Structure formats: structure tokens, C-alpha cells
Structure 1
Amino acid sequence: MKADTYQRQLQHLYWRTGFGPSPAQMQQAPGNLNKAVKGVFSQSVSYAPLPLTITDFSRLPKGQLSPEERRRQMQQARRELAKINTTWLQTMATSPAQLREKMAFFWHGHFACRTQRPEFALNQVNLLRQHALGKFSDLLMAVAKDPAMLQFLNNQQNRKLQPNENFARELLELFTLGRGHYSEEDIKNAARAFTGWGYDAEGMFVFRERQHDAGTKTFLGKIGNFTGEDILRIILDQPQTAKFLTTKIYRFFVNDTPDAAVIQQLSEQFYATDYDIQALLQKIFSTDWFYAPANIGTRIKSPVELLTGLQRAFAIQFQDAPGLLVVQRALGQVLLYPPNVGGWPGGRNWIDSSSLMFRMKLPQTIFAGASLNISLKDDDIDMLPQLSQQERTFNRRLRVNVNLQPFRELLAKVPPRAIVAQTAAFLLQVPLNAQLTTMLQNDTDEFTPENRLNALALRLSSLPEYQLC
């Protein structure tokens, strides 16, 4: 295999199994893809919770709070949610366990959920990270009993004689079977089975037996006095659940256009292994078709992938938490704030004329210290509500540290005439055309070696091609 082909395939692996290659990763890369795949999995074996201490809001005073006391509690909650957001984003960019973080990011979109309780949000993020590569049955059960999800989909209000169908509906439509593979009666009976599932004042799951409907239920053709656990088991018994999940995973990791024959084969294996997530991913990343040209450089980076990819390539550290949140808002994806229970639509939805312009200007803000001038909209995910338009206009420089030394070390032995091509090969997953290569070569020929790399990093990461992975 040619060296440039191997580099492109290796970087494809690192982009899809994580948030893009770092210079150190490429310098330490093994000599073949099989070893690289094994390395990806071995580095994601261990799990550790995010290193955060969050206020337990269940222990704060409640009852007759004054408007000012309530406002202060809400401000504190927003600050702590912002801290979870930026800490997880930084972990995605720096953790060696790239696959664990990438898969947790996938599940964050799949089990889309929002909560104003920081302790609930942190618990759910860590839950997704812990179970990211295990058995889907364990993940599904944990999410179904998670206080953030129970609150978001109103199962706390799901009681005998007054069933609330929100959780049951989304469980079937968005989390497991997919639309068209269940009936309205299945939703009603599943909701009855989940009556009594809730959480206590400390945010711990509780089953309130007196609120549970213990009557006979018919669900997906089976009849019994089903509990919530029974409903999850019956759902997992359906091969359609494996097919639905496999299709979504394929679209996230491989290509937006599903390959029906490949997905059928993968879903059968997923089902046969009792929904072993890691085994499914190992199969995907070990196949020849995963590295086919049609699958390389064809996905539009999500805003989170764009930000973390820049951080990894150029050892960027954001010192500006409010600024980082503003950038996420402007790009259209804020961790912990999916637009709805369906998650972020992704794909071409990430790009329009406005967002593409902001994406291409972002490197100028990071590398050249240009001011960021953004007027934020007032919407339902606003982390800074009730501000005037002037107050929600962000107009200043981002506080960032950029360390290009690892990037320089990666290219230290590259001949001057090959610098442009090699820099482009590292930063872009689609080939740079000859005309643009020549133009960059001529434009930067007179620069000092250090300034040349700085200029190339800025110019190449500002291209439309950099938006693809």
C-alpha cells in the first residue's frame, strides 16, 4: 500500500473512531491498520467519570423562595451546566479513550435529553460514557431508569389510571424499533408497564408499586402482566431493534447513505452477540469497505467534531468558557442541549450559507486573534435568558492558547517543497487540487519555516474541504 493511501486510511480511522488525529498519534502510528484498530479499542477499555464536583440541587432550599433567591439558584445551575459542557468537550479533545468519548457522543444524540438539574446532566453524561461500548441492553436499562430521562419525558407523572405515553412513544420510535414497527396500542400498553417508574428527591430511581398498573397488557403480540423491564426485554427480542440501531450507527460512523446488504449482515451479528456494541464496531472498523474511497472525506463534521478536531490538531486550549459556549451556539450544536428528543439531524443540515461562513472564519479567530462578533438568538435552549439584544451580542476575542509545536515536529523532516502537500494531507480528508496547492506554495514560499506552518494551518483549516471527515 502506498504511504499516502495508508496515511489517509489511518486518519479516516482516527476521525471516525474519535475526533481526528493528533500530531503525536500520527508520529506514533503503527505500521498497519489492524494494529491501529486494536490500539483504538485498547485505549478505550477503562472508564473514569468526568472530574467534576457539582452542587446537589436536591439539598438546596425550596419552598417559598423569593424571586431573587430563585434567580440565583437558576444562575448557579446554568453555570454548572456550562462547566459540564466545557469539561466534556475538553475531555473529547484530549482523552486517549477517543472511541469511548465518540460513542458516548453518539449516544448523547440518540438518547437526546435536556435537563436544568446539573447533577442529573452529569449523571447522564457519565452513564453514557460508562456504557458506551458495552451491551446495549445494559445501556437501555440504565437510560430508562435515569432521572434526567424520566424527567424529560414525563415518566415521573406516569401513574396507574393516568398513564403518560411520552417515554413509551419515544422509546419505540426513536430509541429502539423505529417508526412503523409498532402500533398505538403497543405504545399505550408499554406506557402502562412503565407506570410507577420515577425518582426521589435525591435523584435516585424508585419504583412506586402503588402507582403501577399490574393488569394484563398486550405488547408486540405478547400478553402478560408486564413491567417496564419486561417491555425492554421484549423490545430487545425483536431483530428490528438490532437493524434500527445498526443503521443509525452505520450512518454515523461510515456513510450517510446506508448499504442495505451490509446493514443486514451487521445487524444479524449485533443481534446474535446480544447487542455487543464493541463487537459491532470492531467488525465495522476491520472491514475493507470501511476504508473505501466512497466513505473517506464524505461526512460533514458536526460542530463538536469541528471544534475538537481543531483542538487535537493544534493543541488548542480554550481559556474562555463563555466564548466556547457562544461558538457552539453559533455553529448550531451545544452539548447537553439537543434541539428536541430526536437529537441533532446532522448531515447536510449542519451547513447553510451562514454556518459555513462562520466555520470558515473560526480559524481566523483562533489563530490570528480576530474578534468574534456574534448576535445570539433568544431561543428555548438559551443559557443566558432575559438579556437584551445588546447584552447577548458577543464582540471580543476568544481567549485561547495554541501550541503548534507538536504540529511542527510532525512535519520537521518534510522537505520545503513538500510542506504544503504534507500539511494538506494531514489536515484534509479530501485531496487538495493542484491549482490551490501551487497557490499556497507560492504564497508562503518567502515565509520563515515557523510562519509558514502558522499560515498553512490557518489557510487550510479555513477551506470548505476542512469541513469534511
Structure 2
Amino acid sequence: MTTTQQQLQHLYWRAGFGPTPGQVAAGLSPRQALRQLLRDSQQFEPLDGPAMRYAEPLPPPSDKRLAAQGRPQTAMVTTPDGTAQPATQGAGKMTAAERKQRNQAIRSAYYAMNTGWLTRMATSPAQLREKLTFFWHGHFACRVRRPDAALQLNNTIRRLALGKFPDLLLAVSKEPAMLQFLNNQQNRKQHPNENFAREVMELFTLGRGHYSETDVKEAARAFTGWGYNAEGQFAFRERQHDDGPKTLLGRTGNFTGEQALAVILAQPACAEFITTRLYRFFVNDTPDPAHIQPLAQAFFRSGYDIADLLERLFSADWFYAAAHVGTRIKSPVELLAGLKRTLGLQLANERPIIVFQKALGQTLFEPPNVAGWPGGRSWIDSSSLLYRLQLPAVLLRNAEFNVALKQDENDLAPNLSRADRTFNEPVKTTVQLAPLQQLLAGTPAARQPARLSEFLLQVPIRPENLALVRGDLRAMTTALLSLPEYQLM
């Protein structure tokens, strides 16, 4: 039987990025805490900042066509002082120095977006909105070289994360980053490209087994003409659209892309697919049909109301069952955001946060492929577990973090030498231990290690490990965070 504190911490870990000591000390019931989480996440605040902005416009779908209209496109580079300037030559004829400068500007923008979002995860009161944005970030996995397009997609997801799924699906489907990533700018009448249509059904809405190859071909025809303009906005190219009759999932009509999505959403299988994905993320890697079916049916009836579905899920008695508490492996991002949130952790230089993500196998804005991160037990192998267990000493005791990152074929500079990929230096941080001290106030010294473990760990600590938790508060905290049990939530 889980205690009220365990249930509360379980909710904060699953619906956000972990509890703060103050949240546990506040004494709310799980139901009161859920209402607070929902209230705090009502407002949408875009992720933005000067360092995240990158001035180069998206390449148009057809440079030749625009040039013929007298609208040549000028490539831009961002200088080290943050101002945007035209490249001295066309984008395809950049000098090596210009190309290097552009790549550095792109990388800097992505780093600012990454670290800015991780800080938002750790500090924002809108925990549920940020956690949902993180979930959809993996569900609608997209990796492009364009930080402006990637940030626009991320904010579209954030804005609609708790709304109606049809609105989210349509908006994401029209984002230039997604259209570029899944090749839909190449999807034209008489020459359809099926990539976008296939992933929409396989990964975004229905899952394998609920559509045919014919459905893919017909949906691809419906999405012909969908693209984007040089300003980074959706553009429908009517002359490239196939307006003939199409048969999709048993229905026939002269479907547009919007109508094709509506046909897909009319399938109850879609509600079950999305509910299952959310269940695996928020509850348990192993789906339970007895839990999922009623949720999926209510989700479908509600017009795919995401907030309503999550409120039902987090309010269910089974959500707090022992079988679901402390049974999910934290993803690298959840681990890092949780450490920052619990400890009020700040780094003097944010670059190590990127290094930690790359070493642990999950870098924000860089999913491995369109299927996103596999999750679950794939997060842990011999090297990543070692890095995970070293992190608390690195962050709380300025220990060195020594790692040679793997080559990344998708990186802007994919062929770096081992020396350039090696990180080996102390990480300067500040942590706020006063809230933990307040949480322990009134607890006898001999009982403090056990009390601290109840807050930091979601599973009971083994007696032999508890015996090793000694010293001052920093030492005890470091020891508990370095246990394998801290990897679970």
C-alpha cells in the first residue's frame, strides 16, 4: 500500500519532472495536487529567447520557380554578435568560412533551445504542459537542421499539448519542419511521395495493422500540394494537388489533406492508439487493456480532449497502485530535469547539460529517427548506467565527468576527432539544499537518512544501502542520488 506522500511524489514525477521539497511539505492530497497541476498549466508561454533565434529563412520548395517570378532568396548567416547578415554568395556557393560560421550559429541556437527548455522543465509551474510537450516531442519526432523551424514546431506542440488532439495533429502536420522532415514538399500531383502519409498513420494516429498500403497511397494523394513558403509558414500549392476521388479507410471522396486527417480521426482505433501511447508514457511500459479501453472510449467521445483524458488517468485508483510506482526508468531528460528541479541546480556553464544528454542517449530536438526514442530498458546499458550513477557527484561535488561522445552522422560536424568529442573537466554548479534541510526539520539525526530517502527515491531503499548514507546533507543527498534506485520513477 503506497502512502499519501508516495502517491503525491508519483503524481509529480509522472505529470511533471518531480516534486520540490516545498510541494511535498505543503500537505496536499493527490487530488488537490492534480487540480493545481491542471490550473498551473492552463496558460501557454512560448519557449523563446534572443540566443534561440536564427535568422536564415527556410529554403523555398522550388528556388527555380521563385527565381522565375523575380523573387530570388538570399541566404543569411548569423554573426557572433547575434546579428543577421546576407551570405556573400548563394547558399549553395558559400565559402568554407561562411559555411562554418553558419553551422556554428545553427549549433548555438539549438544549444540555447535545448538548455532553455530543460531549465523550463525544471522551474516552470506549468509542469503538466511541459511534460505533455515532452511526450508529444517524442510522438511527433522531427529532426531538421533548421532551429527556427524546430522551435516553431515545438511551440505549436506546447500551445496545443493539452487541447483537442485533432487540432494538435492538424497543426503539427502543417508545420514546415514536419513537412520538410517527411518529404511532403516533394509530394505532387501525378508524382506522390508517400512518406508523410505513411508516418501520419503508422506513428501519429493508427499504428500498424489498422490501415492498408492502398490507404497510404490514397492519403498521399490527399496531401499533395502541402508545403511551406520562404517565411516558414504552411502553403497550399493548389496546382500541385490531386483533387480526384480517393478511397481512404473505406470512405470515398475528393479528399483534401484536412479531410484525410478527419477520416483517420473517425476511426476508434486512433483513440485507442493515442491512449495506449499516453498510458505507456505516464503509467507503465506494459499496456493494460482493462485500463486503456474505458479511457480510449471516453477520449473518443470527448472529441479527443487530451486534458480530460489525463485527468481521468491521473484520478484513477489504479494509477497509484504499487505496480506502477517506481517502475519506470527515467529517460535522460527526465533524469536531468528532475535533478535540476529537486536541487534548484544551476550550472555556471550550460554546455555540460548537452554533453550529459548526448552521453546518456537523449538530446532534445535530436530524436534518432521518426519513431522517436524507444524508451524503457533501452535507456540503460553498461556505459550509460555508469554515467548516470556518476552524475550526482559531478553536480554536487564538482567531480570530473570524462566521456568521449560517439560520432553522430546527423550532427552539423559529424566527423570530429576523438579529442574534439571528449569532455573531461569539472562542472561548476550551485545547489539549493535549504529546502531539503527544511523538509528534514524536526526529524532526529538518526532518522534523517531514511526520511531523505523517502523523498528522493520512489522505491524503498535497501537496508545495506541505507547504512551507507552518512555525513552532512550534501553527502547524504549525493549518496542517495547515486543509487540505482534513483533511476526509477
2:474 is aligned with 1:454: yes
In the TM superposition, residue 406 of structure 1 has moved relative to its aligned partner by 1.6
Gaps of 5+ in 2: 58-74, 77-85
Q: Hey, what's the Cα distance between the residues in 1 that align with 2:48 and 2:131?
A: 18
Match of 1:39 among 25, 36, 41: 36
- Which residue in 1 is equivalent to 2:453? 424
2:279 partner SS: helix
Gaps of 5+ in 1: none
Alignment of 1:12-31 (within 5 A): 12-30=10-28
The one-letter code sitting in structure 1 at the alignment partner of 2:155 is N
User: When the two structures are superposed, what TM-score results if normalisation uses the length of structure 1?
Assistant: 0.95
Q: Hey, what's the Cα distance between the residues in 1 that align with 2:23 and 2:206?
A: 38
Alignment of 1:137-216 (within 5 A): 137-216=166-245
RMSD: 1.3
| Counterpart contact for 2:188–2:240, Cα < 8 Å | yes
Q: Hey, what's the Cα distance between the residues in 1 that align with 2:112 and 2:467?
A: 44
Superposed CA offset, 1:42-88 (max 9, x none): 11111111131302211613443222212211211111011111100
In the TM superposition, residue 433 of structure 1 has moved relative to its aligned partner by 1.9
Superposed CA offset, 1:205-264 (max 9, x none): 000000101111110011111000011000110000000000010010011111111111
Q: Hey, what's the Cα distance between the residues in 2 that align with 1:212 and 1:196?
A: 4
In the TM superposition, residue 33 of structure 1 has moved relative to its aligned partner by 1.9
Match of 1:264 among 293, 312, 319: 293
1:57 partner SS: coil
The one-letter code sitting in structure 2 at the alignment partner of 1:460 is L
The one-letter code sitting in structure 1 at the alignment partner of 2:416 is L
2:124 is aligned with 1:95: yes
Q: Hey, what's the Cα distance between the residues in 2 that align with 1:119 and 1:109?
A: 18
The size of the alignment, in residue pairs, is 457
Alignment of 1:35-114 (within 5 A): 35-53=32-50, 54-58=53-57, 60=76, 61=86, 62-63=90-91, 64-114=93-143
- Which residue in 2 is equivalent to 1:11? 9
- Which residue in 1 is equivalent to 2:68? none
Match of 1:399 among 428, 435, 442: 428
User: When the two structures are superposed, what TM-score results if normalisation uses the length of structure 2?
Assistant: 0.91
Q: Hey, what's the Cα distance between the residues in 1 that align with 2:446 and 2:456?
A: 17
Q: Hey, what's the Cα distance between the residues in 2 that align with 1:391 and 1:257?
A: 40
Moved more, 430-439 or 157-166: 430-439
| Counterpart contact for 2:142–2:365, Cα < 8 Å | yes
Moved more, 175-184 or 315-324: 315-324
In the TM superposition, residue 384 of structure 1 has moved relative to its aligned partner by 4.4
1:403 partner SS: coil
Q: Hey, what's the Cα distance between the residues in 1 that align with 2:262 and 2:416?
A: 47
Q: Hey, what's the Cα distance between the residues in 1 that align with 2:116 and 2:140?
A: 20
Sequence identity (%):
55
Q: Hey, what's the Cα distance between the residues in 1 that align with 2:398 and 2:347?
A: 13
- Which residue in 1 is equivalent to 2:348? 319
- Which residue in 1 is equivalent to 2:66? none
In the TM superposition, residue 173 of structure 1 has moved relative to its aligned partner by 0.3
Moved runs in structure 1, 4+ residues, more than 6 A? none
Q: Hey, what's the Cα distance between the residues in 1 that align with 2:474 and 2:183?
A: 51
Q: Hey, what's the Cα distance between the residues in 2 that align with 1:354 and 1:106?
A: 25
| Counterpart contact for 1:78–1:116, Cα < 8 Å | no
| Counterpart contact for 2:17–2:121, Cα < 8 Å | yes
The one-letter code sitting in structure 2 at the alignment partner of 1:396 is E
Q: Classify 1:399/1:438 alpha carbon distance in 2 versus 1 (closer, same or farther; 3 Å).
A: closer
